[in-house]
Amino acid sequence: MKLIQKVLFTASIVAGTGLAFAAPGLASECSCEQSTDGSDTVVEVTSTNGAEMTLRFAANPVTRQVKLAFLCVNPGAKVTLAKLWMPGHGHGSSPTTLVPVTDTCTRVERVNFVMLGEWEIQTTLEGGDKGTFPFEVVAANE
């Protein structure tokens, strides 16, 4: 019995240590801070209920090769939808995947821009608040 307790205790110590190292790493994988060298694209909007919302692509300009975005909300709120949409064409793209990393930052994965042009990411927060980010997707060699 004592041996089992020792094993469990050791396992919990190892797991706790692992989490302590992993947590800062996870947090750093989600950021909406604009870099100083201009290598990313940041769009800021205010939601319908007044929340500050920021969308960042780790690329400038945004091209079809971009597959990931970061979405920050202040005050923090759960993002329930991030839908790609082309308002001028009346269509969107395949669904994105939302990965909440912190209370205020969510990774938007599986972003697929199927053509160049004016796009939006239409977002919905838990509770129904909404924000729409406009931006342009350009060819990779521009």
Partner 1 sequence: MLKIRMIFAIVNIFTIFTIILLPSCASSIEAQGEKPLDRSQGTPPVKLTGDAEGVMSKAGHFVVKLDWPDGAKAEQYIKARLAFATADRFRPETVTDIVFDPQMPSMGHGTATEDQVISAVGDGRPAWEFQVDGVYFIMDGPWEINVTAVVNGLMDTAAIPVDVVH
How far, in whole angstroms, is CA 128 from its chain's centroid?
18
Among 16, 27, 112, 140, binds partner 1 (CB under 8 A): 112
Cβ-based nearer residue to partner 1, 45 or 116 = 116
Among 69, 92, 105, 119, binds partner 1 (CB under 8 A): 92
- Tokens matching residue 18: 């692992």
Among 38, 50, 90, 128, binds partner 1 (CB under 8 A): 90
**CA-based torsion, 7, 12, 17, 22: positive or negative:** positive
Q: How far apart are CA 46 and CA 133, in angstroms?
A: 10
Q: Note whether 15 and 34 are within 8 A (CB).
A: no
Does the footprint of partner 1 cover residue 93 (CB under 8 A)?
Answer: yes
| Interface region with partner 1, contact rule CB under 8 A, candidates 3-11, 43-51, 86-94, 129-137 | 86-94
Cβ-based nearer residue to partner 1, 78 or 91 = 91
Q: Note whether 53 and 129 are within 8 A (CB).
A: no
